[in-house]
């Protein structure tokens, strides 16, 4: 699996591989120049699956990658396929920039998914075999000896059976509601008291307290809960004859949208959306091979699905995302070596972060290599305890249930500080948690707002206002590329800026005034780029400037590190720049529309995607600017939704020492020969062949952060 293709179709150019004669004029409206967002994302998830196959990774890390692949695919069906089907049902057939209608995208995605699932089946089998060799067994119930079965049955009877509710399906009992992502048994049974067989549906009660895989005798030996249920049905249905049985699982559309502008209460609207999502249309039905054709058709009809297109026969394990349970087994020998984030070198012996920023200037944070708790959380902790801090403002997009930040904000209010929090209620799949946080914050007396109507708040920023001895106010800002989430800060590669700067401080105040007042008009920013007001326009202007410098001085250079490059206008401008010879390096984690290496158009462009131990999540934008180099970090990907439909912020990094650190990150990633995949001009990704001196940028960063944390602090 060293090659990840993106399937072409009739939308590709008539010339071989979509290429034209070098030097010929390219029509930048040609759909073949723009790769499809959904297909490039699926190619990204195939790269995740390739990590599960890669024997250079420790075994349980491979299991973890497999779990992530399945979790990603579930979300893809809920959000992306769900959205496309919503458009198709509405009769919308307008093609995207790549020339595909919603229905064409659905069909091509289904073909790609089928190929990925074929690879997945082989990889699951191989990983389970290797786990068995290491003493971690996922057994079939039929393969257990009688003693093991008896022990499992006893535990099952006392700990699980009371949670199960068999539901009859017959003339008197309509087809029941089937919850999203649940695993279910469908039985055809005959009871001697009845003339005709009937159906019974049993939902497998998986939860945090009832795990998917039941451990046998305290050993690393497990059996899937659904198998235990299926082989002990007499405990639920005594006297019944089981004529047939099979498993199924449904995926529901996560796209449930209401008119925010006409809603009287935004919080109430989001709560209603969550309730509706439970009953949203089904977009995928997964079935086991032993579920008969007539029952598959029956389920498809009851769930409102097309039997041919929407049913996926899963030959092995439903919901392999649950393998994360097994990846968490305490076997250090089968995982990456233990890693603890280091404290930032400047913060190790510094008694006060705010004093450090005043005396020695801004600090660049690199997570997960540097500790989130000893930097971001510490800054907030100091601000809460400091009697001269008068106000704190922050944004909440996603945060952990055990977040230290929310209690600190509550404590700040009790200490008499002005606290304002902008909560994004529509952070997909975190809506319920954010509603709870919003209610808790409001009850504590914190000013809670929900941003600008019609625009998600995606910016990750905190503002601290402190009074100096002179009576003047000084502003301290933290701006990051990732959420205020202590758990993901140990798993995602993100950047953060802590700074006390006149202009950044003023821009951040203006940003919060926008968010809390809900008013977009009249806003002016000196240094920061803010969407939806002018970020896209500013980025296009900078791309065009590189084109001018290329024509004048032959030194145009752009480097963009982002999760996704989807916006058609940005892609078009990058094509114009590369046509002029501007060197463009793109480090794009998943979806990317631009095709590098097209003769006469994008020969000076390079596109790579990096996977590894951590999820690449930072956004870092560089422009050579004729030697007066510009660096920006922030929350915004190069997607239309980020640039025109969200409130996002990018901050310039002007300090030479911090620019040097960012240059090191870009150079390391562009030199990566282990975690990097490179795209060719047809949109196909190939894993780079490791050089003699192989470089994995993430492991290099781990080593660097450890070395620098232990080095003596500079005077």
Is the Cβ–Cβ distance between 347 and 363 less than 8 Å? Answer: yes
* Catalytic one of 458, 478, 617, 696: 458
The pair phi, psi for residue 421, each rounded to 5°, is -130, 130
Among residues 113, 94, 109, 86, which one has the least CA distance to residue 39?
109
Count of CA atoms in the C-beta half-sphere (13 A) of 195 = 0
Q: How far apart are CA 577 and CA 644, in angstroms?
A: 22
Query: What's the Cα-to-Cα distance from 226 to each of 21, 233, 525, rounded to whole Å?
Result: 58, 11, 57
Secondary structure class of 262 (helix, strand, coil):
helix
Q: How far apart are CA 320 and CA 18, in angstroms?
A: 37
Helix, strand, coil distribution of the chain in percent, nearest 5: 40, 20, 40
DSSP summary character for residue 207? -
Q: How far apart are CA 156 and CA 139, in angstroms?
A: 16
Among residues 88, 77, 12, 83, which one has the least CA distance to residue 45?
77
Provide the token pair at 149. 């079965």
Q: Tell me, yes or no, if 458 is annotated catalytic.
A: yes
Count of CA atoms in the C-beta half-sphere (13 A) of 133 = 9
Provide the token pair at 473. 């106010």
Provide the token pair at 503. 């202009």
Q: Quickly count: other Cβ atoms within 10 Å of residue 145's Cβ.
A: 7
What is the edge-to-edge ordering of all strands in the sheet holding 241-252? 167-169, 198-203, 183-190, 241-252, 282-287, 311-313
Query: What's the Cα-to-Cα distance from 328 to each of 7, 60, 62, 68, 175, rounded to whole Å?
Result: 35, 8, 12, 13, 37
Sequence-ordered strand ranges (E) for 384-459: 389-396, 418-423, 447-449, 456-457
Is the Cβ–Cβ distance between 358 and 500 less than 8 Å? Answer: yes
Is the Cβ–Cβ distance between 543 and 573 less than 8 Å? Answer: yes
**Sequence-ordered list of residues with C-beta below 8 angstroms from that of 161, at least 6 positions apart, any chain:** 235, 236
Q: How far apart are CA 587 and CA 677, in angstroms?
A: 10
Q: How far apart are CA 122 and CA 107, in angstroms?
A: 24
DSSP summary character for residue 422? E
Q: How far apart are CA 159 and CA 141, in angstroms?
A: 18
Element housing 679 (H / E): strand 676-679
Is the Cβ–Cβ distance between 507 and 525 less than 8 Å? Answer: yes
Sequence-ordered strand ranges (E) for 329-446: 363-367, 389-396, 418-423
Question: Catalytic residues, which ones?
Answer: 458
């Amino acid at each position: 699996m060293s090659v990840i293709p993106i399937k072409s179709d009739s939308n590709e150019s008539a010339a071989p591989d979509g290429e034209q004669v070098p030097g010929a004029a390219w029509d930048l409206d040609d759909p073949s120049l723009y790769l499809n967002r959904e297909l490039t994302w699926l190619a990204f998830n195939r790269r995740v699956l390739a990590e599960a196959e890669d024997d250079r990774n420790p075994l349980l890390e491979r299991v973890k990658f497999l779990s992530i692949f399945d979790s990603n695919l579930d979300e893809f069906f809920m959000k992306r396929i769900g959205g496309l089907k919503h458009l198709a049902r509405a009769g919308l057939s307008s093609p995207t920039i790549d020339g595909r209608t919603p229905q064409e995208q659905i069909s091509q995605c289904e073909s790609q998914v089928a190929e990925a699932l074929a690879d997945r089946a082989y990889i699951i089998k191989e990983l389970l075999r290797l786990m068995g060799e290491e003493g971690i067994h996922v057994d079939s119930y039929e393969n257990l000896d009688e003693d093991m079965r008896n022990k499992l049955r006893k535990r099952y009877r006392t700990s699980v059976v009371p949670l199960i509710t068999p539901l009859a399906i017959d003339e008197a009992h309509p087809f029941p509601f089937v919850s999203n992502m649940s695993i279910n048994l469908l039985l055809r049974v005959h009871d001697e008291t009845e003339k005709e067989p009937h159906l019974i549906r049993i939902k497998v009660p998986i939860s945090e307290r009832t795990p998917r895989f039941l451990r046998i005798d305290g050993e690393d030996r497990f059996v899937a809960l659904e198998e235990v249920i299926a082989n002990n049905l007499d405990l639920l249905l005594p006297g019944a004859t089981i004529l047939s049985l099979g498993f199924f699982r449904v995926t529901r559309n996560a796209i449930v949208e209401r008119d925010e502008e006409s809603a009287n209460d935004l919080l109430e609207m989001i709560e209603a959306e969550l309730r509706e999502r439970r009953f949203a249309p089904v977009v995928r039905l997964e079935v086991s091979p032993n579920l008969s054709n007539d029952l598959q058709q029956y389920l498809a009809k009851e769930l409102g699905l097309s039997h041919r297109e929407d049913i996926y026969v899963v030959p092995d394990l439903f919901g392999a995302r649950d393998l994360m349970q097994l990846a968490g087994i305490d076997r250090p020998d089968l995982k990456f070596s233990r890693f603890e984030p280091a404290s930032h070198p400047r913060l190790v012996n510094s008694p006060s972060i705010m004093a450090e920023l005043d005396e020695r200037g801004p600090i660049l944070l690199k997570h997960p290599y540097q500790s989130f708790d000893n930097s971001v959380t510490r800054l907030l902790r100091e601000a809460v305890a400091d009697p001269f801090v008068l106000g704190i403002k922050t944004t909440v997009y996603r945060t952990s249930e055990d977040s230290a930040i929310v209690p600190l904000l509550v404590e700040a209010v009790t200490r008499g500080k002005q606290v304002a929090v902008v909560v994004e209620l529509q952070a997909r799949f975190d809506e319920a948690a954010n509603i709870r946080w919003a209610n808790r914050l409001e009850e504590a007396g914190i000013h809670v707002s929900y941003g600008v109507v019609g625009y998600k708040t995606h910016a990750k920023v905190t503002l601290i206002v402190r009074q100096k001895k002179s009576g003047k106010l000084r502003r301290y800002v933290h701006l990051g590329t990732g959420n205020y989430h202590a758990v993901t800060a140990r798993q995602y590669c993100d950047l953060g800026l802590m700074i006390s700067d006149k202009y950044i401080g003023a821009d951040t105040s203006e940003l919060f005034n926008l968010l809390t007042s809900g008013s977009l008009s009249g806003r002016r920013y000196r240094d920061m780029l803010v969407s939806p007001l002018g970020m896209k326009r500013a980025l296009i202007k900078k791309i065009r400037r590189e084109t001018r410098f290329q024509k004048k001085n032959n030194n145009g250079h752009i480097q963009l590190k982002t999760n996704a490059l989807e916006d058609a206008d940005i892609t078009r401008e990058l094509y114009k720049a590369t046509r002029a010879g501007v060197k463009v390096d793109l480090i794009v984690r998943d979806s990317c529309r631009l095709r590098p290496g097209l003769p006469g158009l994008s020969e000076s462009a390079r596109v790579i995607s990096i996977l590894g131990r951590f999820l690449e999540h930072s956004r870092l934008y560089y422009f050579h600017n004729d030697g007066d180099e510009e660096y920006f970090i922030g929350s915004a990907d190069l997607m239309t939704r980020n640039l025109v439909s969200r409130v996002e912020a990018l901050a310039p990094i002007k300090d030479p020492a911090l620019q040097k650190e960012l240059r090191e990150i870009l150079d390391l990633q562009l030199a990566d020969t282990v975690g990097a995949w490179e795209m060719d001009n047809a949109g196909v990704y190939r894993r780079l062949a490791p050089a003699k001196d192989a470089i994995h940028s993430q492991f290099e960063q781990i080593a660097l952060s450890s070395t620098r944390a232990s080095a003596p602090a500079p005077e």
